[in-house]
Structure formats: C-alpha cells, structure tokens
C-alpha cells in the first residue's frame, strides 16, 4: 500500500492477527468443502475501505478451525496482542472461526489488562458464498478497535455490526449471519455508517495474571433427565480440578446428582449454572433438595449470569492461578453479574 506520511500520521495503528476459521476458508476445484487457506494479508486486501480506516499491522498466527484452538493458542495470541500494544498499536483485532468465538473472547477477557481494545470477529459465510459477511465484519471490527470509546472495555466481539461484551455474547444459531447475540442484555454498541456508538458503559472487571501453566482440567457437565451421577466420581478419580454443571432451570439438580455434587464440593470447586441459554441462576427462591438454597448450603457456587461454558473457563483460570474457594467465589460474583 502506498500512503503519505500525512496519511499515516492521522490514522490509528491497528494490528490484525488471523487464527483461521470460516472467514479464511476457501475451496479448490475438485475439493470437498472449504478449509482455512487465507492469512491476514489476503483477508485485509479483500476489504474495501480497510486501508483508509487504519494503518494495519498484519500477522497470520494460525490457520485452524476454531474447534481445534487450544488454550496455548490463546495464551500465545494474548502475548502477541500485548506486544502489539507495547509497540504502538491503538487496538488489536483477532479473526477466528465462530464455533468457539465466544469462549476465546471470554478467556482472553479474563487476562486482558490493557487500556486499548482487543476485538474478536469472524464470519458465518465463507468468502466464496453469496453474501459473504467476513469483509463487513472485519471492517467494523477495525473501526471499533480504532475508536477511543472502545478503550477500557476489555475484549469485545464484533459481528453483523453489533458490538458485544465478551462475557455476554453467545452464538445462538448454526448458520445465520445474525447468529451472535447477548441474551437479555443486548449488544453494548453498534457500528452504523462506519461510526461506532456505545449504548451503555462497561464496568471494570478484575483481571487475572497470565498463569505459568494451564494443565488442570475442569469438567463441564450438562444435566439431563434421569442421567447418571457417576460421571462426577469418574471425573474426580481422573484428576479433574473443578466441576461446572449446566443445570435445570435457574440452577437445579436432581436429588441423586445433588448428592454427588455435594460430595465433590468437599474436594474441588463446583459451580452450578443454567442450561437454558438466557437468564441468571437464582439464589434464594427454591429450597427443595437439589435447588439453589440447598446447593449453596453445601458448598456449591452459583454461576449467576455466566453461561456454563464461560463458567468453566473462569474456574479453570482461577485454578491455574492457585485461587481457592473463597477467592474463586469473589471472582465468580464479579464476572457473573
């Protein structure tokens, strides 16, 4: 790209790191389906107006489907993003697949302690499909990363011109371009005609230090009708360091799973969330055996507004940092409001 010094001086510097995903996936004649082939430079070159929006630093970090992202990929991405800020970037954009986008965003948010924004985005339609949304999403993400009002909001997700907080956003449809929503709360902002508008403040959250290791595992169990509570003891025997349950309703368990969870809570942290997809767990409504009052009286923590997948990540991050039950409880309260 040819640009004058004057152009450069007046443009924000935004770093884009590409991890792969649908936005990067193309096929070739005779191939079945698409796979991740495009890197950061190819993605940026395909977006009209992107070069005018910012001075870009482009890096291809990986070319993988988001279901194959490991924690180490995200910690490497976190370190790279922080380095970009240290080298003068006003914001960082990460492109990845949408299947685990909400989880990646939340895990990074637990550790992102910089003033500048870290923005994640992806695409629901690959570049070879009619109405591909990747270019529009990438341009909007860069505009959000470059906007001064995006600072001190932690990690954001930009999809379909909506701006979401990492702890709120969820993928709620398999294929629609409007798949990403923030149930109950709605998006924190929007991009309209190239301008970023925020609808509410984002509260400051307690960030965690990057842990020296992340080997300890947390079980995520979706509770279902007449299921087998034996999985809890199997998990403990296998060395799992924590348990998160996607429970019935506002955070409830059957009597037999309740007994297994109460026994487990003596050994490891246990968090009860809701499997419903929207709403908070309750704290003092139901008193029967297996309901929230009973569970809390026996050491089980309630997940509040956090979805079970994000509660698993929070619990893992806390355990990796050596936090014990009381400190985990305080951290959970802060992030689950």
How is residue 139 written in tokens? 């341009």
Closest CA to 66 of 133, 120, 139: 120
Distance CA(44)–CA(321), nearest Å, equals 37
Closest CA to 209 of 337, 323, 48, 73: 323
For 32, which DSSP code?
Answer: S
Distance CA(209)–CA(165), nearest Å, equals 20
Give me the active site residues, please: 22
Burial pattern 309-322, b for ≥16 Cβ within 10 A else e, equals bbbbbbbbbbbbbe
Q: Provide the CA 321 distance to its chain's centre, in angstroms.
A: 19
How is residue 141 written in tokens? 């993400």
Residues 175, 166: contact at Cβ < 8 Å? no
Burial pattern 35-64, b for ≥16 Cβ within 10 A else e, equals bbebbbeebbeebeebbebbbbbbbbbbbb
List the end-to-end C-alpha distance of the chain, in Å, as a whole number.
Answer: 45
Distance CA(58)–CA(138), nearest Å, equals 13
Angle at 240 between CA 167 and CA 65, to 5 degrees: 50
SS3 286: coil
Distance CA(274)–CA(223), nearest Å, equals 9
Distance CA(188)–CA(199), nearest Å, equals 6
Angle at 128 between CA 67 and CA 187, to 5 degrees: 55
């Amino acid at each position: 790209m040819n640009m004058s010094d004057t152009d450069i001086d007046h443009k924000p510097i935004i770093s884009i790191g590409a991890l792969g995903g649908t936005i990067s996936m193309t096929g070739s004649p005779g191939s079945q389906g698409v796979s991740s082939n495009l890197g950061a430079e190819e993605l940026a070159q395909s977006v009209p107006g992107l070069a005018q929006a910012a001075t870009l630093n482009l890096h291809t970090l990986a070319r993988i489907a988001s279901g194959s992202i490991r924690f180490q990929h995200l910690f490497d991405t976190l370190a790279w993003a922080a380095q970009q800020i240290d080298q003068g970037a006003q914001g960082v954009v990460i492109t990845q697949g949408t299947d685990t986008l909400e989880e990646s965003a939340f895990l990074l948010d637990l550790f992102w302690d910089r003033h500048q924004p870290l923005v994640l985005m992806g695409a629901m339609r690959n570049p070879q499909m009619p109405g591909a949304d990747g270019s529009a999403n990438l341009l909007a993400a860069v505009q959000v990363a470059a906007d001064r009002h995006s600072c001190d909001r932690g990690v954001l997700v930009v999809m379909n011109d909506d701006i979401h907080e990492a702890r709120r956003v969820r993928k709620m449809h398999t294929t629609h371009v409007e798949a990403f929503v923030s149930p109950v709360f709605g998006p924190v902002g929007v991009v309209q005609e190239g301008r970023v508008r925020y609808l509410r403040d984002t509260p400051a959250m307690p960030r965690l230090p990057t842990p020296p290791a992340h080997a300890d595992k947390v079980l995520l169990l979706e509770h279902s009708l007449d299921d087998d509570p034996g999985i809890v003891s199997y998990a403990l025997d296998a060395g799992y360091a924590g348990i998160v349950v996607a429970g019935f309703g506002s955070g409830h368990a059957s009597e037999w799973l309740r007994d297994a969870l109460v026994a487990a809570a003596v050994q490891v942290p246990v968090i009860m969330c809701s499997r419903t997809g929207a709403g908070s767990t309750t704290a003092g409504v139901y008193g029967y055996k297996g309901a929230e009052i009973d569970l809390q009286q026996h050491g089980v923590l309630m997940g509040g507004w956090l979805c079970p997948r994000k509660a698993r990540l929070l619990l893992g991050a806390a355990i990796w940092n050596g936090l014990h039950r009381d400190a985990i409880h305080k951290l959970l309260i802060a992030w689950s409001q």
